[in-house]
């Protein structure tokens, strides 16, 4: 008996070690597959992390966001100019983005910019002759021109360090960017019309002067007008007045323009 006791102890110790090993090793091996994500999920995660991140601002009016990267897929949202978008993923020509309202979709890279913008609205008037550009930069492609005092609708403006550009829509629907220094709240044509005729486009005093800006028939025809001024609407009369001012200056309305401080 005394000789067999050490043998049983050794056997028990060895068995215990085997049991312990069996408990630890398979458990660790089983945990590894359970905790590992599928290879495709890891690849997708890495791709998204590498491709996403950052923000962009919409520079097109109601830029279409599509459900898939294809520009022909269903439109899920149309964010306005100046809307801030969070970039989630990137393709060759399009970005996957999320709007402030939580909508997710794909938008053309051409429709957004890294320049900080603000979605704004309101009416302003051009201070002088201005040229609208297609993109934010003043050296980009020219879109159209507008004469002094043209009524414009403001759509977006730059913010942050660069606060000197604004996107506007002119009569006729064309949109483009101009300097913020070129617009004002002052409606010079409205003021001039009120001074000349009380702002009444139908004015006919019987002394040979007609309409809001008191054109003579001869002058009206010289700037491309048809018939007589008071038989046309406000926009047509203002358009002809702008042409006249562009050609001959404010001196065509000597009293009122001096009163209004326009010369």
pLDDT tens digits for 161-182? 888 999 999 999 999 999 999 9
Q: What pLDDT digit, counting tens, does each position of 65-107 carry?
A: 999 999 999 999 999 999 999 999 999 999 999 999 999 999 9
Please state the pTM of the whole predicted model. Answer: 0.73
211 CB-contact burial (10 Å; exposed 0-12 / middle 13-18 / buried 19+): buried
Angle between helices 188-197 and 234-248 (to 10 degrees): 100
Residue pair 87/104 in contact (Cβ under 8 Å)? The answer is: no
pLDDT in tens, the chain (263 residues): 444 444 444 334 434 444 344 443 444 444 444 444 444 443 333 344 345 679 999 999 899 999 999 999 999 999 999 999 999 999 999 999 999 999 999 999 999 999 999 989 999 999 999 999 999 998 999 999 999 999 999 999 999 888 899 999 999 999 999 999 999 999 999 999 999 999 999 999 899 999 999 999 999 999 999 999 999 999 999 999 999 999 999 999 999 999 999 98
Which of 169, 212, 221, 223 is closest to 189 using CA atoms? 212
3-state secondary structure 150-199: CEEEEEEEECCCCCCEEEEECCCCCEEEEEHHHEECCCHHHHHHHHHHCC
CA distance 235 to 157: 26
Q: Are 133 and 174 in contact (CB under 8 A)?
A: no
Percent of the chain with pLDDT over 70: 80
């Amino acid at each position: 008996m005394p000789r067999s006791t050490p043998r049983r102890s050794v056997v028990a110790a060895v068995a215990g070690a085997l049991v312990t090993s069996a408990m630890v090793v398979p458990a660790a091996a089983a945990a590894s597959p359970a905790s590992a994500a599928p290879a495709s999920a890891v690849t997708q995660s890495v791709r998204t992390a590498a491709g996403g991140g950052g923000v962009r601002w919409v520079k097109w009016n109601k830029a279409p966001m599509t459900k898939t990267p294809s520009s022909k897929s269903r439109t899920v949202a149309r964010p306005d100019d100046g809307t801030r978008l969070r970039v989630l993923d990137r393709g060759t020509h399009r970005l996957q983005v999320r709007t402030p309202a939580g909508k997710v979709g794909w938008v053309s890279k051409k429709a957004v910019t890294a320049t900080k913008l603000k979605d704004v609205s309101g009416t302003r008037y051009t201070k002088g002759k201005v040229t609208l550009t297609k993109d934010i930069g003043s050296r980009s492609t020219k879109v159209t021109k507008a004469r002094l005092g043209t009524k414009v609708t403001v759509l977006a403006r730059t913010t942050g360090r660069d606060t000197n550009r604004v996107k506007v829509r002119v009569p006729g629907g064309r949109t483009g960017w101009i300097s913020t220094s070129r617009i004002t709240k002052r409606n010079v044509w409205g003021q001039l019309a009120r001074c000349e005729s009380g702002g009444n486009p139908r004015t006919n005093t019987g002394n040979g002067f007609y309409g809001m800006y008191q054109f003579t028939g001869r002058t009206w025809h010289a700037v491309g007008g048809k018939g007589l001024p008071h038989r046309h609407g406000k926009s047509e009369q203002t358009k002809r007045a702008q042409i006249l001012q562009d050609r001959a200056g404010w001196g065509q309305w000597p009293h009122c323009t001096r009163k209004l401080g326009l010369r």
